[in-house]
Structure 1
Amino acid sequence: MSDYINEGSVKLEVANGIGTIEFQHPASNSLPGKVLKKLADTITEAGENSEVKVIILKSAGDRAFCAGASFDELISIKDAESGKTFFMGFANVINALRKAPKFVIGRVQGKAVGGGVGLASSVDYCLATKFASVKLSELAIGIGPFVVGPAVERKVGKAAMTSLTIDATSWQTAGWAESKGMYANTFETVEELDAAVQKLAETLAKSNPEAMKELKKTFWADADNWDVLLEERAAYSGKLVLSDFTKNAIGAFKAAVKK
């Protein structure tokens, strides 16, 4: 069996003022710790690159956008410190998106689960296809969306965040996500999505960089405490993942997938 914890990649391509970051993993673009670290570092790199005026965040393939945390890695965590370190991977990606001095456009071509919903909520402007359903499945495996929660709540509001969190086994449609503000617009096909993402990115690449930088600061002014908040949330999640409930739930899920 493939060692999924060590698989996956992140790449950055820069052209005409647009920095396109693409992540991939063979397990539905899930996010093990190594990919999370590379993703956070690449977002920071793009933000510091003077040739990049706007950033696009996307995943590989034409199906799932992101399956969230790597179950293979979650089930391998043996102590609270290792658990905190893993969940800090998500915290660092969210904070990198928040702090990048450029607008980040999200391109969501398919379903987003858990941490994938966190990514979609942490970009500055997100476009998706009608296939981009969302689900916060963390409670179903005994954890809860503590780290991604602030980003999701900031984007969709407390009521919608509460609904997603409690109904952890149900998918909400892309139309639902658009109605709550997670997606700015949804499209019938990937081709239409890509055309819209490219058009917006090209427009922003020609806009005033200083104006966009200052606007981003104002948009995220309510999240200045997230360095501390998300670290606290990561520590709590790192303890919860050690529970027998979580280990058994993940094991049952993996067994069901194999059938």
Structure 2
Amino acid sequence: MAYQNLISEVKENILYVTINREKALNALNKDTLAELADVIAYAGKTEEVRGVILTGTGEKAFVAGADIKEFSEYNGKQGEELAKRGQDEVFNAIENSPKPFIAAVNGFALGGGLELAMACHIRIASDNAKLGLPEVTLGLIPGYGGTQRLTQLVGKGKAIEMITTANMITAAEAEKIGLVNHVVPPTDLISKAEEILNLVKQRAPLAVSAAIKAIIASVNNDNGYTTEIEAFGRCFETADFKEGVSAFVEKRKANFSGH
């Protein structure tokens, strides 16, 4: 897949997506968001892809925010459309993807960058990372799901403090409050993400997708228990369920096909 602002490749069933705008600290402009929308859709429909690692080029920034110049003259209606389109095509699309997305946060994850990381299912940060939502310093609020996902991850009080003060926090603080899953040295960032996805790759793909769907339904108040019950039932219809049970009974490693 050839993109102008992204580097993407599939290796050993993992799709590696790198936002490649280092001079702009990997800021999200319209073209980058469009390319992200395309690669997210590709991941969801491609059987070869079992998981995605999303990161930024260089050591300074994962994504330092959105490209403010592009929307500095917008009116209210245009602002709403910007947020809706971004949420639908990129941020919600990641969260609702049947494939697990891991954000490998190298350096600054600010504004839209932190919102992008929060849309991913798992976050790993380098120990030099800084995270924050500084939108109120521009007279704005987060518009790509930041008010919702930060609250889900760290609780109402901490979310209000972070968003209204616009303060950045360290990777260590982010791990302490549950905003990131793991903190590692920069040199170990991608390998830690690979370690997690290599475990996920050993599990039944349809069951992994069903579990993600049920968990996301719970945090979005979308009939989580009902979603779980229905997804649990559908698992019984899969070849992977039969294989998993046979492997358990026969005391061997399961060979899942994703069917």
Structure 2 length as normaliser, TM-score?
A: 0.78
Q: Equivalences for 1:57-76 in 2 at 5 Å?
A: 57-75=54-72
Question: Using the alignment, how far apart are the partners of 1:176 and 1:94 within structure 2?
Answer: 24
Question: Using the alignment, how far apart are the partners of 1:71 and 1:88 within structure 2?
Answer: 17
Greater relative contact order (Cα 8 A, min sep 6): structure 1 or 2? 1
Partner of 1:34: 31
Q: Determine if contact 1:19/1:56 at 8 Å carries over to the other structure.
A: yes
How far has the Cα of 1:87 moved from its partner? 2.5
Question: Using the alignment, how far apart are the partners of 1:156 and 1:8 within structure 2?
Answer: 35
Once the two structures are superposed, residues 173-222 of structure 1 have per-residue CA deviations (whole angstroms, 9 ceiling, x without a partner) of 111111111111101x2112222112122222222101101110111003
Partner-residue secondary structure (3-state), 2:148: helix
Question: Using the alignment, how far apart are the partners of 1:155 and 1:17 within structure 2?
Answer: 28
Identity rate, percent: 27
Aligned-partner residue type, residue 31 of structure 1:
L
Tell me if 1:94 matches 2:70. Answer: no
How far has the Cα of 1:84 moved from its partner? 2.9
Task: Find the partner of 2:141 among 139, 144, 153.
Answer: 144
Partner of 2:116: 119
Q: Equivalences for 1:211-226 in 2 at 5 Å?
A: 211-221=207-217, 222-223=219-220
Tell me if 1:16 matches 2:12. Answer: yes
- Computing the radius of gyration over CA atoms, which structure comes out larger, 1 or 2? 2
Aligned-partner residue type, residue 181 of structure 2:
A
Alignment RMSD: 1.8
Task: Find the partner of 2:190 among 189, 194, 206.
Answer: 194
Partner of 1:244: none
Task: Find the partner of 2:160 among 123, 143, 162.
Answer: 162
How far has the Cα of 1:56 moved from its partner? 1.0
Q: Equivalences for 1:41-52 in 2 at 5 Å?
A: 41-52=38-49
Partner-residue secondary structure (3-state), 2:151: helix
How far has the Cα of 1:17 moved from its partner? 1.0
* Structure 2: unaligned runs, 5 residues or longer: 223-259
Partner-residue secondary structure (3-state), 2:179: coil
Tell me if 1:181 matches 2:196. Answer: no
Task: Find the partner of 1:55 among 52, 56, 69.
Answer: 52
Question: Using the alignment, how far apart are the partners of 2:177 and 2:133 within structure 1?
Answer: 15
Q: Which runs of 4+ in 1 moved over 2 A?
A: 77-90, 222-225
Aligned-partner residue type, residue 153 of structure 1:
T
Q: Determine if contact 2:27/2:63 at 8 Å carries over to the other structure.
A: yes
Label 1:178 to 1:97 Cα distance change in 2 as closer, same or farther (>3 A).
Answer: same
Aligned-partner residue type, residue 131 of structure 1:
N
How far has the Cα of 1:89 moved from its partner? 4.5
Question: Using the alignment, how far apart are the partners of 2:209 and 2:130 within structure 1?
Answer: 31
Question: Using the alignment, how far apart are the partners of 2:74 and 2:206 within structure 1?
Answer: 46
Q: Determine if contact 1:122/1:152 at 8 Å carries over to the other structure.
A: no
Question: Using the alignment, how far apart are the partners of 2:148 and 2:4 within structure 1?
Answer: 26
Structure 1 length as normaliser, TM-score?
A: 0.78
Once the two structures are superposed, residues 223-257 of structure 1 have per-residue CA deviations (whole angstroms, 9 ceiling, x without a partner) of 277xxxxxxxxxxxxxxxxxxxxxxxxxxxxxxxx
Partner of 2:130: 133
Q: Determine if contact 2:61/2:107 at 8 Å carries over to the other structure.
A: yes
Q: Determine if contact 2:128/2:186 at 8 Å carries over to the other structure.
A: no
Partner-residue secondary structure (3-state), 1:14: strand
